[in-house]
C-alpha cells in the first residue's frame, strides 16, 4: 500500500521559466554556445529570447543545457 504523502512545493520546471521571464539570462546550449538576453515568451517547446544586440531568437527547449539568471538591480 502506498502512503499518502503531503506534496511539498518545489521549484518545478513549469514554474521556473515563467518566474524568470523578463530577467537577464544566460542560456547554455547543448552544442556549447552561450546566449545572453531576456526571455520574452515561453511555449510548450520553445523560448523566445531578445538578445543584447536586439535580435529575437527562437530556441527549442530540448537544445538547452541549463539557464543562469540575474536579478535586475
CATH of the domain at 56: 2.30.30.100
The answer to the question of residue 39 being in a domain is yes
pLDDT score of 37 more than 90: yes
Instruction: List 50's β-bridge partners, or say none.
Output: 38, 56
CA 37 to chain centroid, in Å, comes to 11
Percent of the chain residues past pLDDT 90, beyond the cut: 59
The answer to the question of residue 9 being in a domain is no
The total of structural domains in the chain comes to 1
Contact 25, 69 (CB under 8 A): yes
Mean of per-residue pLDDT scores for the chain: 85
pLDDT score of 72 more than 80: no
pLDDT (mean) for 4-20:
65
pLDDT score of 35 more than 60: yes
CA 50 to chain centroid, in Å, comes to 13
Choose between 7 and 17: higher pLDDT.
17
The answer to the question of residue 33 being in a domain is yes
State the Cα–Cα distance between residues 18 and 36, nearest whole angstrom: 17
Q: Residue 66 belongs to what domain range?
A: 23-70
Choose between 51 and 19: higher pLDDT.
51
Please provide residue 5's backbone torsions phi and psi, each rounded to the nearest 5 degrees: -100, 140
Amino acid at each position: 500500500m502506498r502512503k499518502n504523502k503531503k506534496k511539498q512545493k518545489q521549484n518545478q520546471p513549469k514554474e521556473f521559466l515563467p518566474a524568470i521571464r523578463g530577467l537577464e539570462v544566460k542560456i547554455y546550449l547543448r552544442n556549447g554556445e552561450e546566449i545572453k538576453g531576456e526571455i520574452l515568451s515561453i511555449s510548450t517547446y520553445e523560448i523566445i529570447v531578445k538578445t543584447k544586440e536586439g535580435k529575437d531568437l527562437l530556441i527549442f527547449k530540448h537544445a538547452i543545457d541549463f539557464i543562469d539568471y540575474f536579478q535586475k538591480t
